[in-house]
């Protein structure tokens, strides 16, 4: 995306302001990060005023980098948890156990035929077209949770 919206620009400014506030509080409390301070002195060539402003700049960059890396780690954790959840579901599926979407119980679903032969036979003798439609629509099985008796989605 080449152009940023006003909202995106405002968010960036607020975030930058937040980082400046953190650095100001650190400096007020006498906290300086050694590596960042050494970098600032090196780039300022010993000039203490330049070193101070360089330190603020580099410390803000460091905070931004920390935020980005933390977000990346959180995303990786989410992906890892999702993969573990899918692997667990596959393990259960191999055993014929599924997780009910309603009560979240790990159960072996009850398999029931969708249609009824008692309905299909009279339809065949009376109305052949509705009988064919009924047979096509109600062919197969539904699976119910034995705990909450809700229909389960078996994928």
More confident residue, 20 or 142: 20
pLDDT tens-digit readout, 43-87: 888 788 899 999 999 999 999 999 999 999 999 999 999 999 999
Which strand (E) or helix (H) includes residue 98? strand 98-99
pLDDT of residue 29: 94
Q: Cα–Cα distances in Å, from 64 out to 18, 23, 142?
A: 11, 12, 52
Q: Cα–Cα distances in Å, from 107 out to 19, 81, 89, 138, 151?
A: 50, 22, 12, 25, 12
Token pair for residue 20?
């400046």
pLDDT tens-digit readout, 84-140: 999 988 888 889 888 888 888 888 988 887 767 677 777 777 778 877 877 777 777
pLDDT of residue 60: 94
pLDDT of residue 141: 81
Q: Which of 150, 119, 151, 110 is nearest to 137 (CA)?
A: 119
DSSP string, 11-22: HHHHHHHHHHHH
pLDDT of residue 87: 92
Which residues are CB-contacts of 19 (< 8 A; sequence separation ≥ 6)? 60, 63, 64
Instruction: Determine the Cα–Cα distance for residues 44 and 35; give it in Å rounded to an integer.
Output: 14
Which residues are CB-contacts of 98 (< 8 A; sequence separation ≥ 6)? 92, 106, 107, 108, 109, 143, 152, 154
Entry pTM: 0.57
Burial class (CB in 10 A: 0-12, 13-18, 19+), 152: buried
pLDDT of residue 5: 86
Does pLDDT of 6 surpass 80? yes
């Amino acid at each position: 995306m080449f152009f940023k919206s006003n909202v995106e620009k405002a968010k960036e400014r607020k975030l930058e302001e937040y980082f400046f506030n953190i650095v100001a509080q650190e400096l007020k409390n006498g906290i300086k990060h050694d590596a960042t301070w050494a970098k600032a002195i090196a780039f300022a060539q010993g000039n203490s005023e330049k070193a101070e402003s360089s330190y603020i700049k580099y410390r803000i960059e460091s905070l931004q980098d920390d935020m980005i890396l933390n977000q990346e780690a959180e995303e990786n954790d989410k992906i890892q948890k999702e993969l573990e959840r899918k692997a667990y579901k596959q393990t259960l599926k191999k055993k014929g156990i599924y997780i009910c979407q309603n009560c979240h119980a790990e159960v072996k679903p009850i398999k029931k035929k969708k249609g009824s032969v008692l309905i299909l036979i009279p339809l065949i003798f009376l109305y052949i077209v509705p009988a064919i439609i009924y047979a096509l629509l109600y062919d197969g099985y539904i699976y119910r949770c034995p705990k909450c008796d809700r229909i389960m989605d078996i994928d």
